[in-house]
Amino acid sequence: MAGASFNRFQDLMGTSIDCEFSLDLEFLGLHTEDLSELEAPVSEEEVWDVVRQLSHGKALGPDGFIAEFLQNCWTTVKGDFMAAFAKLFTMCGHGFQGLNQALLILLPKRPDAAALGVLPH
């Protein structure tokens, strides 16, 4: 089942789609903004600014690490954080299989389950 889970989420996270069409907003007489900077990778300075501004004494997630831990140990953990952001930026899901494995729960639990699929809404 672990292999099926990895393959299912690898397919979702590991693909990129090229845009086939675009709109010429200037031709339509609409105001345009240069948003190319939104496609740039997240910089270490941007991440550090966010980490510095985190509320003190609060755990950010289920791992229980509080903001002070990240702020005081940033030189030690920043490489891992930046590697994770780089993987997300390139849409590469490889290497995330060890991250929060305990949070993946397959419902409903059926003894005859052989593959993952999309549940009907």
In a domain, 22, yes or no: no
CA separation for the pair 91, 15 (Å, rounded): 7
In a domain, 26, yes or no: no
In a domain, 117, yes or no: no
CA distances for 120 relative to 49, 88, 103, angstroms: 41, 28, 22
pLDDT, one tens digit per residue, over 1-29 is 667 777 777 666 656 667 777 777 778 88
| Main-chain phi, psi angles of 69, to 5 degrees | -65, -50
pLDDT at 72 over 90: yes
In a domain, 101, yes or no: no
Per-residue pLDDT at 98: 58
In a domain, 66, yes or no: yes
**What are the DSSP E strand ranges found in 4-82?**
none
As for how many domains the chain has, the answer is 1
In a domain, 106, yes or no: no
Residue numbers of the domain that contains 86: 45-96
pLDDT at 106 over 60: no
In a domain, 4, yes or no: no
Per-residue pLDDT at 35: 82
